[in-house]
Structure 1
Amino acid sequence: MMKKILNIFKIGLPVVVVGLFFSACKKNLPDERLSIANDSKYVTTLFQPVLGRNTLFTNIFQYGNSSRPLDFKIVNMRKFNGDPAPELTQLYPVTVWKQIYDGTEKSLAEIEAKRTIENHPLFEIRPHAGDFVMWSAANSNMVSAQPDSGYVFDVEMSNSGGRKYFQNMRLMPFRERPYEPSNLDPITGQATSVSVSPSGVFIMGERGQYMNSFFDVQVLFRKTGNGNSLTFKFADSLSNPIDPNKFDETNWAGLVHGFNMTKDATKVRYDVAYPIPLSAYPTPYTTLSGEQARVSFKFSRIGFGNILEKNYLNFNFNIFEKGDWELTFWFRRDKPKFDND
């Protein structure tokens, strides 16, 4: 009996040893390697952000058959002539959101509590998406803007399966345009006109003609200081002030996301946080997309034939640069008719 057991043990031992060998080999096998595909590519290789505003370039990379996750980094950032470009690689303080802004904040302090300061390169890549960000801290005193030829850089994409380089990508920023719509040339930065046009107007003039948003009404932007305020003014063709109270159906309290409103016979002023709007998030103060602030000044009058006319002056805009800003709506060819017919 003992001999039989020994024979069985002799037969089984190699099986156990072989099993252990294959088990050990399996443990030592490397993980499945990720792949880097030749069809991965950037669909855009020229980037032209406007300085002075946060710009995100997204949906610009096609992963193809490359395995994810992927890692991206900018390498060899240089000026067009090949010189180093330390202005784009060193870190600068920038403002970022640490909580979601939704337009319900009740004070400037509440808004600022949702933001913080971090150090970032002025132009950087999102390390796992391949998107690019140009931060608003960049300006034409720090970064070369068009008509300069700008910068050239490469991007390294990698995973455990290898790496791939996208070479000679271009960064050619435009000069600052602190507000939109803008009357400033994107290359020279010089004004091409004194004003811009409103988004829409339905107002009868005292001469009996409905006003045209291009010819009859103009909007002038003016920065008067470095604070945090926004002021609206109205002026007739002789530049005399028009009392904002005449636009008596305007929702002044909800016109902008501002605080401490003051209104008199010449102006309406708010304390505000910048930029305007604060983010591309739809709120009661923005267009449907959230990309621009929207203001509407309204009044009603009884027109010819005893018809009720709902008059309005609408303006969609952005202000990217912090300051004390004035927006003047200039009725340059005729005064609005506020009285009934």
Structure 2
Amino acid sequence: MGKLKNNMNNKYVLDSISKLCLFMTIVMLMTSCVDKFLPDDLDSLGVDSRFTQTDYRPVLGRNTLMNNNFNAGNASQPLTFKIINIRKMNGDPAKELTENFPVQVWKKPYLGTEKSLEEIENKRTIENQPLFDIREHNGAFEMWAAANSSFVRTAPDSGYVFDVEVSNSGGRRYFTDMRLTPMKERPYEPSNLDETTGGATQPFVRPTSVSGMRGHRTSNFLGTSNIEVYFRKVVDENGNNIGDGNSIKFLFKDSLNSPIDPNKFALTDWDNLMHGFNMEKTDEYVKYQVAYPIPLIPYETKYTTVDGTRAHLNFRYERLGFGNRREEASLVFDFAIFEKGDWEVIFRFAQERPKFENE
């Protein structure tokens, strides 16, 4: 009888163990199946993500990067940005901004130490790009310079409207009715051209600074208001470049438009005045072979301003004043030219020319 009872107990234990094992197996299978059909961990795309700027006004004719314009908030990275539905104000598609055009891009970094035009041009190539685009993973907008952008609507026209899709593995959001209002081309800066009409507001601009420079007739110190700076692109009667479109010439004129010998600016570091090549200096002008635009990119070099956005010129000379006192004079001009060509930059001393002679 005891033996039978033990057998029954053993059978009960075995049955219990078998049922437990079966239960555990079912639980494991169910867990496995559930895991199989659960999605991967999703990134978040928070409602606090936003563009900090929604109205863009790039100037045509120059490469313009509009960055630091998106606040990701709590959104998980990386994000993917895409411009969609860019259109004119009447709702028509803006094909002029979505079709590809040949633009110049860098395939190797520009350093500011290149020794020839060929070395610079070997770092650039032509690619087909939409004129207006967005960088895929940071949301920065880019307006490319095209050889001809006259077909793009500019202010005072109301311009364009577009939407942006921002996505990650957690989903996507749409930012709608953003504005693009391009401004008319201004081939050089500082500019005397109105940003809306494109017409000249005056014939010239002023230099950046003048110091220690006395007038020949009065011996009074000259200031920026005494000097006019003219930009002139040399073209034929059809508006075409006369040369190869890779030169810049600096000229100095007195109030009667007679030439002033640039050699009189004797302290000028002509060899390092700008990133140019094959300098040609005469008693009427100084000419360089250059690559355009000037500066080539917004990057600080020894030829540019601190922020790298403009070329930095410093024309210098010295003379002996009264009491054999040394006087050093300086004419500084910070500028940019965005349009390829054979350019002349003319410095005209409108009231009186500088005094170069010793007392």
What TM-score do the two structures reach when normalised by structure 2? 0.90
Q: Which residue of 1 aligns with 2:138?
A: 129
Cross-structure match for 1:323 = 341
Summarize deviations over 1:180-216 as a string: whole Å, max 9, x none.
Answer: 00000111111111110001112111121010112x1
Asked whether 1:94 is paired with 2:112, we answer no
Corresponding position of 1:224: 234
Is 1:309–2:344 an aligned residue pair? no
**Which residue is equivalent to 1:68?**
77
C-alpha displacement at 1:63, in angstroms? Answer: 1.1
Moved more, 138-147 or 74-83: 138-147
- Paired residue secondary structure (2:111): coil
Report the alpha carbon displacement of residue 114 of structure 1 after superposing the two structures with TM: 1.0
Corresponding residue of 2:55: 46
1:335 aligns with 2:353: yes
Question: Are residues 1:233 and 2:251 paired?
Answer: yes
Q: Is the 1:254–1:285 contact (alpha carbons within 8 Å) kept by the matching residues of 2?
A: yes
Q: Say which SS state the counterpart of residue 75 (structure 1) adopts.
A: strand
* 8 Å Cα contact 1:139-1:175 kept in structure 2: no
Residue number in structure 1 paired with 2:117: 108
**Residue 308 of structure 2: aligned partner:** 290
**Equivalences, count:** 338
Rounded Cα–Cα distance in structure 1 between residues aligned with 2:35 and 2:321: 88
Q: How far did 1:288 drift?
A: 1.0
What one-letter code is carried by the residue in structure 2 that aligns with 1:219?
V
- How much has 1:29 moved relative to structure 2? 2.4
Q: Which moved more, 1:31-40 or 1:223-232?
A: 31-40
State the superposition RMSD in angstroms.
1.8
Structure 2: distance between partners of 1:138 and 1:301: 46
* 1:9-20 equivalent positions in 2, closer than 5 A: 10=18, 12=21, 14-16=23-25, 18-20=27-29
The unaligned stretches of length 5 or more in structure 2 are: 1-9, 236-240
Structure 2 SS opposite 1:189: coil
Aligned to 2:224: 213
Measure how far apart 1:15 and its partner are. Answer: 3.2
Give the structure 2 partner of residue 175 of structure 1: 184
What secondary structure is seen at the aligned counterpart in 2 of 1:26?
helix
Partner amino acid, structure 1, of 2:154: A
Q: Identity percentage over the alignment?
A: 56
Q: Distance in 1 between matches of 2:26 and 2:162?
A: 56
Which structure would you say has the larger Rg? 2
The normalised TM-score by structure 1 is 0.94
Is it true that 1:59 corresponds to 2:68 in the alignment? yes
1:134 partner letter: M
State the one-letter code of the partner of 1:78: R
Q: Is the 8 A contact 1:51 1:139 kept in 2?
A: no
The answer to whether 1:141 aligns with 2:143 is no
- Quote the offset at 1:7 in angstroms: 7.0
* Greater Cα offset, 121-130 or 273-282: 121-130
Instruction: Find the residue that maps to 1:305 and give its secondary structure.
Output: helix
Alignment of 1:36 with 2:45, yes or no, is yes
Rounded Cα–Cα distance in structure 2 between residues aligned with 1:238 and 1:87: 47
Distance between the aligned counterparts of 1:141 and 1:291, measured in 2? Answer: 25
How far residue 16 of structure 1 moved from its aligned partner, in angstroms, is: 4.5
For residue 272 of structure 2, what is the amino acid of its counterpart? G
State the 1:21 CA deviation. 4.2
CA positional deviation for 1:129? 1.3
Instruction: State the shift of 1:120 in Å.
Output: 1.0
1:25 positional shift:
3.4
Secondary structure in 2 matching 1:94 = strand
2:223 partner amino acid: N
Q: Structure 1: which 5+ runs fail to align?
A: none
Structure 1 Cα separation of the partners of residues 174 and 311 of structure 2: 40
Q: Report deviation, 1:139.
A: 4.9
